[in-house]
Amino acid sequence: MTDIAMIEAARARLDGHTRRTPLLSSPFLDEIAGRRIFVKPECLQHTGSFKFRGAWSAISALSPEVRAKGVIAFSSGNHAQGVALAARMHGIPSVIVMPSDAPRIKIGNTRAYGAEVVLYDRGKEDRDAVGARLSQERGLTLIKPFDEPLVIAGQGTAGLEIAEQAKEEAIGKADVLVPTGGGGFISGIALALEARAPQFLVRPCEPQGFDDVARSLASGRIERNAAQSGSLCDAIITPQPGNITFPIMSRLCGSGLVVTEDEALHAVALAFSRLKIVVEPGGAVALAAALFHGETLGEAVIAVCSGGNIDPDIFRLALDKFPV
């Protein structure tokens, strides 16, 4: 299981290959929220999301012989791009399995990062069977998106940075808000902060209608989302918390915060105008919670913006709906 030693070991492997994203702030955001808000912009990470950390952590931990055969992942989103680039930077092949109806831009980007994209027909083929066949034929190692200790350890390196940067900014106590899908990112951050900044309270943030983690934490058992798609916050939509991540979240995280899609879009627009960063709606739910759901938050908030791979049309929509 992931612990602080694994996270520190991941950090040593990531060093020089991932970016130490800065901590940003704006007096305009502080004023809206009525408290100090700091933003950790993982949209500035390689491939535009934190996923690169976990991918690098998992791939770099493989033995050279196993690694040389290549890796495989199932994803049409940020995990795909993270795995593709991390594999290329290791000089190994990667295969990304995506549904054939995935957006062209995502397929194109993943290929451009050096991956072989294998498309399957959602209606006729079984994704796992396609993947299993490829893995067996070529000896590829599966890189899971979140329910995997090495991936969680990689995501946790962002938590180590938060602890250090909060100290530099003299932030004594804070709520740390994290956009949450399967829970790999928040689990890594929570484990890192348990060891390095235990006075911080880590809390998951989700969009309305897809608040499986908030509900699971409230009920004490894994709850599922009714819908599996249909949110602008697609980057953080998963059916349910992971089997590995849920116990970590249960032990370490405070209650979940839930925002509307419009609040997420409003946060996207404010990140544009006030922080000069590009955030996707799913990546902006923690900032939205910090800005618009402060009832249960303390004096200082660190909101993680987890990704920036947004369709230009959605970005325009955010600017149109929420002019400065």
Q: Which of 29, 33, 37, 43 binds a second copy (CB under 8 A)?
A: 43
Which residues in the 47-86 window bind a second copy by CB under 8 A?
48, 85
Question: Exposure pattern of 73-96 as b/e (b: 16+ CB <10 Å)?
Answer: bbbbbbbbbbbbbbbebbebbbbb
**Which residue's structure tokens are 């993943």?**
110
Which residues in the 274-303 window bind a second copy by CB under 8 A?
275-279
Long-range CB pairs of 11-20 (<8 Å, 24+ gap) are 11/157, 11/160, 13/56, 13/57, 13/60, 13/61, 14/53, 14/56, 14/57, 14/60, 14/154, 14/157, 17/56, 17/89, 18/45, 18/46, 18/52, 18/53, 18/56, 18/157, 19/44, 19/45, 19/46, 20/161
Measured from the Cβ of residue 171, the count of other Cβ atoms closer than 10 Å reads: 22
Q: Which of 64, 123, 220, 323 binds a second copy (CB under 8 A)?
A: 323
DSSP at 25: -
Q: Is 162 in the site for a second copy (CB under 8 A)?
A: no
Q: Is 168 in the site for a second copy (CB under 8 A)?
A: yes
User: Cα–Cα distances in Å, from 284 out to 51, 96, 184, 225, 291?
Assistant: 15, 26, 17, 20, 11
Distance CA 234, CA 80 (A): 14
Backbone angles phi, psi at 120, to 5 degrees: -130, 155
CB nearer to a second copy: pick between 38 and 246: 38
* Closest approach of a second copy to the CB of residue 22, in Å: 6
Q: Is 22 in the site for a second copy (CB under 8 A)?
A: yes
User: Cα–Cα distances in Å, from 187 out to 7, 169, 252, 322?
Assistant: 11, 24, 8, 32
Interface segment toward a second copy; rule CB under 8 A; list 17-25, 62-70, 203-211, 248-256: 17-25
* Closest approach of a second copy to the CB of residue 71, in Å: 18
CB nearer to a second copy: pick between 22 and 298: 22
The dihedral over CA atoms of 299, 203, 74, 262, expressed in degrees to the nearest 10, equals: -60
CB nearer to a second copy: pick between 253 and 270: 270
Q: Is 91 in the site for a second copy (CB under 8 A)?
A: no
Q: Is 20 in the site for a second copy (CB under 8 A)?
A: yes
Interface segment toward a second copy; rule CB under 8 A; list 37-45, 205-213, 237-245, 249-257: 37-45
Q: Is 179 in the site for a second copy (CB under 8 A)?
A: no
CB nearer to a second copy: pick between 137 and 313: 313
Tokens read off for 142: 């599966």
Which residues in the 113-152 window bind a second copy by CB under 8 A?
113
Q: Is 273 in the site for a second copy (CB under 8 A)?
A: yes
Q: Is 21 in the site for a second copy (CB under 8 A)?
A: yes
Q: Which of 8, 9, 28, 66 binds a second copy (CB under 8 A)?
A: 28
* Closest approach of a second copy to the CB of residue 51, in Å: 14
Interface ranges with a second copy (CB under 8 A): 16, 19-22, 24, 27-28, 31, 41, 43-44, 48, 85, 105, 112-113, 168, 272-273, 275-279, 308, 312, 315-316, 319, 323-324
